[in-house]
Structure 1
Amino acid sequence: MRLLSLILAAAFLLAGIVFGALNPIDVVLDFYSWQVEVPLGVALIGACLGGALIAALVLWVAVIWPQQRRIRAFGRDRRGTTALAPSTPTAFPEDP
């Protein structure tokens, strides 16, 4: 599994290098009060990475963090009970 991860990381690194080499044109990023000139490939990869980081943050705040809180609360509730009570069959009244 680790070898597969290394191979995938190397493939994405190589793809990023090729992408940057194929897009050498400089573009100006204008952030209202300051400007920066970067190659187009770097700007596009940076935008993709920034979007992925924002998506990961939103996912963590909206899904993962609440689930972790629920799991911790469930664990606290389970630790509060010392032994499980023997289950007794529930008697349902018969229909008249």
Structure 2
Amino acid sequence: MRLIVIFVLIFFVAAGVVVGALNAGLVDYDFAFARVSMPKGAALLAALVLGWLLGGLTAWLGVSLRHRRRLKAGKKQARA
């Protein structure tokens, strides 16, 4: 099983290197307060990581808040 995970990881790293090499052109981003110029591959990777982090944070907060509500409701039932 561990060998399969290593092969899948190597495949995705190689695919990322190829995508980054094929998209070496620069992309300009103009935020109202700053201007950033970065390669297309780096911009794609940054967007992917940012989306992954925000999605994980959203999922974690949803589960955490639901868990707190259940604990609070359980405490109320225990007192009654």
- 2:17 match: 17
- 2:64 match: 65
**Highest Rg: 1 or 2?**
1
**Over aligned residues, Cα RMSD in angstroms?**
2.2
Cα distance in structure 2, aligned partners of 1:32 and 1:67: 37
- With normalisation by structure 2, the TM-score equals 0.73
- With normalisation by structure 1, the TM-score equals 0.62
- 1:2 equivalenced with 2:2 (yes/no): yes
- 1:52 match: 52
- 1:84 match: none
Question: Aligned residue pairs: how many?
Answer: 73
Gapped runs of 5+ residues in structure 2? 76-80
Cα distance in structure 2, aligned partners of 1:66 and 1:33: 35
